[in-house]
Each structure stands twice: as C-alpha cells, then as structure tokens.
Structure 1
C-alpha cells in the first residue's frame, strides 16, 4: 500500500488503498460499508442507508455555490472476485494486494477491484478534499452491482435530491458514456442419469487454462476464448472416438465474466490412453492457431485424477455436450445505430455438473429489448430440443441515450477545454446502473466517466495510473462548472 501513497491525486489513492484493504466481493460488502458510514460520521456528513444497504452521503455546497444544480456521484460497493488457480486468496477475508508495474496498477494474482473501486475512491475523495469546489453534493454507493444490480433495483424514489447523476463506472479515459446495454440471466437445467464407471478404466482431469477471460460486456467484442465452450467442443469432436465416460465438468464462476479456465473428469480405457494424449496435442494446435493471437498462454492437458463417483450415461453425456456445444456465445449482432458497438451478446458464464442435473448459466446483454427477447427465445428452443428446463430471470433495462442531455454536453465542453480535444461520446455494451435509476428518478440527467481499466472481471485487471489523474481533473472541473438551477 505504501506505493499507492506516492501516487497523485493523493486523496483518491489513499481511499483506494483503504478499499483494497477491506474485503468487499459481491454479498460481502458490509465491512466496507461500515467503514464508509463511520468515516462519513467522523466528518460530520449526513449519511443514511436504505433497506437494500445502499449508502447516501450529503455534503453542503462550497460557499457561494449553493444555487447550483445538485449532483450525485455514484459508484457500486462490490468487486468481482476472480483469481488464478495457483493463487491462494479468500476474497471474503483477504485484502487485495495492489502493486505498481510501470504506468499501471495491478493486483497479485487476483482482480484489482479498480472496477468500481477507483470511482468509489474518487467520490469519497471529493467529500474529503475541501479544495474541490462544488454545488450541493450527494454520493450514492450501491450494493451488489456485479451479481445482479441489487442495490440499483432496490433504490427507492424520493431519497436522492440530485438533478444530475455522474456515474463513475466507465473504463476508458477519453470516452464519455451516455447509454448502455440491458441484460437478463438465463439458466438451463438438464436432467442427467449416472452409472458405474467402466471397469478397468483410468480417470483423468482434462483442463483448459491460460485464457485471458474478461468482462462479458466490455470485452465480448474482442473474440476472447471461452474456456467452457472450447472444452465442450473438444468433447463434441473427440469424445466418441475416445469412448470417454464423463464424470464431472465445471467452467467459469461468474455469469458476467468470460471463463478463463474449465476442467472435466473423464474415464478412458487403457487402450485409448495413447490416443487421448494424441488428440489433446492435435486440439491444442488448433487452439493455438485460432485463439493464441489473443490468448497467448492457452494450455490443454490431461493429468491422472482420483474420482469415486459415478459417470454420466452415454445418453446424458451426449445431450449435455451437444447442448453446451450448440449454445451460442459471444457477439450475436452489432448495432446499426451506434457504430462500432455490440448490440446483442451472450456469455456462457458458469457450467456445473451436479448429481442429477447439469446447469448452464448465461448472461444476455442487448441495447434493445427485442435483442434480449430473441436470444431468450433461442435458448428456450435449444433447451426444449435437449430436454432441459429453462428459465430467464433478473431482467434489467438498458440506458437509452439522450442526445439532448445537458450534462453530456457540459462534459464534452469541459473535456475539450482541459485537454484540447473532444472526447468520444459512446454507448457501452456493458451494463451500468443508470438504466435502473430511470424508474425511481425519471428526471435525472446522467453521464458516465472513468479512468482506463483493462481486463476487468479477470486477474489481469489493471488501471492506468496516469488516466486516473486525468479522470480526477475532469471530474473536479465538471463539478465546478455545474450550472445554476
């Protein structure tokens, strides 16, 4: 943490160091929330939590700026917990270990939590730094955004006083966001039957590792490998030839992260062991040709593994593998309206085999409701063909762009004055909470800004240190320039 104390702007980095020191993955934000509430109380700031756990802090305007439009700075409290398999880390107990690597800040073997910890730290730093000029100010920190936007769903009307909301959850300095995709969760549950492992068969764990993974919205257009899909493809192509019995399968652990690793336990006869190693080499060569330009560290291997359970029957194995292999993944359609932006996508996030069923968890995103509905319909149809029970749930709306947004126009103007160039006005394919804020607060004029963060939702997450300073400069200048009521 001492490295962070040397960075500028210091108030922001000091808060981020504290945030890293307090575990706060989704559903484990309470310790961090308690720290923030206690800090606000020590600063004699008005602070309140709602029934969902969201935090709202108010700070009076800088003297002479009381007649400005009230503004809310908004961030979410939780972070995505992802780590490399070789990293020993309990996200509910262990602090994040940030370190400086040249121009970037990274974490040791885990996600960094710059998404949305930098935004949260910037909001708290504005509250703490008396040199920042602003009108009537609120800071809204929401609960459990990464696991279903629960805080935003639970936000009640008549709590915020703000007329303008600045969301701090964007991840590219120089881009100003005025819209985002909506999303919906989808679960397929396929009944399976099991039987004894064939006599004299040897058990192996086949695993795909070394993929980059990433954010299932912001990175979905990059064509990164989905470990779960790649492993299902292996079984679809070689499983019959090898006469494999499938005992277990797991891939991914978050619906909104592109899976970096997947593994399966299989049983194979002694006569087929040499062939197994041969086709593993063949398939790895295929992967290295197809995905290595982006996923340079991809590996595929089979190691002996002990297993005492039952195997899937041949019919259950084939229905599971065929369903997983045929389920689409990645970009479904690009937008005709927002050039260069994905309109609709699908991420197969988590796959697990239980004793009596296989579960496939997906996250569908789209800029338009009909795009979500189309993919939901497609997955229902695939489930029906496979004999799976299917369910869509947790739908949340997108944030429809407003070309007449005053705060968007002001942000563009301030950016041009500060840096001598126009920012890029964007619609992001990731889900921001802004769309959900529209229901209880239809009058809010909203914009989203942030520093440059790459690899969010993966252990490769990093934030560009210099971009944080530029983001802070923009944020504080924007607060100073908010017009009168």
Structure 2
C-alpha cells in the first residue's frame, strides 16, 4: 500500500514513481513497465519507437511557441537492481515494493527501492503528462538492462534520436551537476576442482556472514565498505585441515558483496575453536570498518555435507580470495579527494559441486590507466588456472568544462537556489559515456535528487530534494 504520508507534489512525478514501484522491473524483464509507458504515450497521442534491444523512445512535441526549439533527449533506464536482506521474503519478478517513509526518506521494506533510476523515469513521464510544463520538443529515451552491464545503451539504435542536447537524470546528489562518468569492464572466471567424500570423522559447518551495508561498486567504492567475500576468506584463513564444500557470496558485478555463506569440513573440535575466534575477529573489524558496516554478524552452525575439496585446493581458493584486488586503486588529482580514478570490485564468488565461479569488474576514467590493473588480474587468473571470459566493456564520458549546457545549468541553479552547483564527474558507468560515443555532437548534462545506498536494501530517496530537482529540470527546459 501507498504510505499515508506519501509525497503529493510534484503530483505527476510522484504518481508515476508510485506506479514504478508496483511494476516489477529486474534487468532483462522490463516489458511490463515499458508497456506502461507506451500506454501513456498512446493515450496522449505521442509517437514512439522501440529498437531490437528493447529501448524505447517517446517523441513529445514542443509546447506552443516552442515547436522549433532544439530537441532535448531526456534519458533514463527502466531496470532496477534487485537486492534484499536474507530475512525478507520478496519475489522481484512478481511482487510490488513495500514503501515506507522515515525521517524524510522514502525507502522499501528491506529491498532496493528502485529510485535508481525509477525516479528519473517518473520525472521524464511527468514532463509528458503535466500540462503545466513548458518545454521544447522532447525525445524521452528509456533504456533497458543498464544495471547488469549497460546492455541497452550498448545496443541502442542511435537513429531513433535526433536531439542535440541530452539531460540524464541518473545521478544521486542534489545540488551537483555531472559532466563525466567512468568507463569500465569486467570478467567471469571459472575453474573446476575435484571433490572427495567427506570422511565420517570430520565435522561439517556452515558459516554465514551478514549485516554489511553493501552498496554501489562505483559511487561508494571510496567509502571502504567491507566486502563479504574478503571477510569470509579472512575468517577461514589458517583453520587447520579445512576442506571447502561450497561458497555463495555476492549478487552482481556492480554491487559490493554484503553477505555470504561458506560450508566446510574440518577435523573434530576445530569448529568449536573457530566459533570462539569469530567474535574476537568481529570486534577487530569493528575497530576499522566504516560505521555503515557496524551491524556485521557471524554465525556458525552444523551442516551435513557429502563431498568437499581437498585441503590443498581449499587453501588455493582462500589464497585466491586473499590475492584478488578490491576497492579504490587511484584517486583523481584534479577533483575532490573522494573521486576515484580507478577501482575494482570482487563482486561474486560461488563454489558448488567443485565448480568455482568468480566475477569481478573495474572502472576507470582513462582506459590506459586501467591496463596495469587488467594485466595484474589476468596474471592472477593464469596463476590460479582460471578460465577467463571478458564481459561488458563500455567507454567513459570525458568531462567538458566548456559545455554551453553546463554553463546554462550553473547560471539557472544560482538564480533559483542562491548558489552555484558543484560540478563533478562520477565514478560510475552512466550510460552517458556510451550514448556520447554514439551521438558525439550531443551536449550532455546529468543531475538528480539525492539517493543513498543505491544497489543495497538500504536504498533511500531524500524526499525534500525531489521538488527542487523538478523545478530545476522544468525551468531549464523552459529556457531552451
């Protein structure tokens, strides 16, 4: 149900966003929400086209007297990250989100909210449905499959678009204008190990780690949020006679792993000694992990296992976890200290029936700066006999501080709110980089209301930033 204190203004935007929270939209399953947009366009009598990738463009004529102004592309992605806490029963393919409001923030009950990028989508549709908005001709671009590799933008048919200006509504800090974003790439790694029967004299255990914040592997990587894969490896390091049976940690290439489970066998009595060690280890972590990870929990319970890796291969997996790079690798020398130039995320690790799968992704502003990191990762893969499958490469968006659209935005922001906005680049893979490579003559600006905890169950939207965001968007369009 809609919360009793659900925001009312701007009415069209909030109404459309609520509908977005009712329609499941995981990456690759955007058909239902796309149909919602098509139905709105048909009702209004506006033309629309869809390419083979599933991207949708709705053409909205300019307001009276503005039909001949430059066409502006309003760009957002339809899909959302689907992450929940372990104790939350929620099916992202069928269930609507359960919204809640607390202390001025809108969130969902122990799941991602999808304000990334549903709020921007709602704003775009509100431009079409709100008769009070004055605007030039618009091309409302809704891409698909952004969260799992920017697939919609990569395969966009750029001939659908004619605009010379583009507003991307997919950044997460109000009072900031973005003019650059990171590029990136990644890999899948695999290897098979042989398994042996677990001897009767061995004790079998299941170690569960939960309570970390998790989060976006781009915009939050500088926060040094803990990685569940790394911590689980640390828990089991130096456990004598360890034989790994399974590992399950991480959900996607762009999410910092927040929880995980490891099953293993050890000599009798070893598990009890490990249980005594875990609380001391947790207290050690609390001395240096960020406050967002203060809820970390470790639990150890008995398990029933039939087969496991031998001790040598088990140690090899733990060595792999320990050696794999994760986190910020270089910081910008020009921008504020929290802007990361180069990073890597140890995103997913699974071991099942002897089959190991690892996923890792990296981000950069200058692709050349990332090459030594890429070489180091591929060297690790060779050293550990991993099969490598490259995944999802995409270009960055190089900042243009001379952009006329940027200057117009800065002047308007100061006029409306009494101060110039911060001008930044973002260490995340906005679709702007890809779209700019397809539409090189388009002037691009990105902004949005404040969102925290994107890509995690703590995702939340600061309600009082939405109205000024909407005012800025509509008045910027009225000036074009």
Distance 1:170 1:182 in 2: 15
Q: Which residue of 2 aligns with 1:275?
A: 273
Aligned 8 A contact 1:292 1:298 in 2: no
User: What is the TM-score when the length of structure 2 is the normalising length?
Assistant: 0.97
Distance 1:58 1:101 in 2: 37
- In structure 2, runs of 5+ residues without a counterpart are none
Distance 1:393 1:249 in 2: 22
Q: Which residue of 2 aligns with 1:328?
A: 325
User: What is the TM-score when the length of structure 1 is the normalising length?
Assistant: 0.96
1:345 correspondence with 2:343: yes
Distance 2:248 2:405 in 1: 45
Q: Which residue of 2 aligns with 1:87?
A: 88
Q: Which residue of 1 aligns with 2:202?
A: 201
Aligned 8 A contact 1:4 1:14 in 2: no
Aligned 8 A contact 1:81 1:457 in 2: yes
Q: Which residue of 1 aligns with 2:445?
A: 447
Aligned 8 A contact 2:145 2:152 in 1: yes
Distance 2:5 2:194 in 1: 54
1:267 Cα shift? 1.5
Q: Which residue of 1 aligns with 2:138?
A: 137
1:435 correspondence with 2:433: yes
1:20 Cα shift? 0.4
Q: Aligned-pair RMSD on alpha carbons?
A: 1.3
Q: Which residue of 2 aligns with 1:379?
A: 377
Aligned 8 A contact 2:242 2:311 in 1: no
Instruction: Out of 460-469 and 202-211, give the one that drifted further.
Output: 202-211
Q: Which residue of 1 aligns with 2:126?
A: 125
- In structure 1, runs of 5+ residues without a counterpart are none
Instruction: Out of 355-364 and 175-184, give the one that drifted further.
Output: 355-364
Aligned 8 A contact 1:105 1:465 in 2: yes
Distance 2:145 2:5 in 1: 26
Matched length: 478
Correspondence list, 1:282-431, <5 A = 282-291=280-289, 293-307=291-305, 309-340=306-337, 341-431=339-429
1:213 correspondence with 2:214: yes
Q: Which residue of 1 aligns with 2:182?
A: 181
Distance 1:461 1:19 in 2: 15
Is the alpha carbon distance of 1:292 and 1:220 closer, same or farther for their aligned partners in structure 2, counting shifts above 3 Å? closer
Distance 2:260 2:179 in 1: 36
1:2 Cα shift? 4.9
Which secondary structure state, in structure 2, belongs to the residue aligned with residue 176 of structure 1?
strand
Aligned 8 A contact 2:49 2:160 in 1: no
1:292 Cα shift? 5.5
Is the alpha carbon distance of 1:383 and 1:6 closer, same or farther for their aligned partners in structure 2, counting shifts above 3 Å? closer
1:271 Cα shift? 2.4
Distance 2:131 2:9 in 1: 16
Aligned 8 A contact 1:249 1:263 in 2: yes
Deviations 1:132-169 (CA, angstroms, capped at 9, x unpaired): 11111110000110011111011123221111000000
Which secondary structure state, in structure 2, belongs to the residue aligned with residue 439 of structure 1?
helix
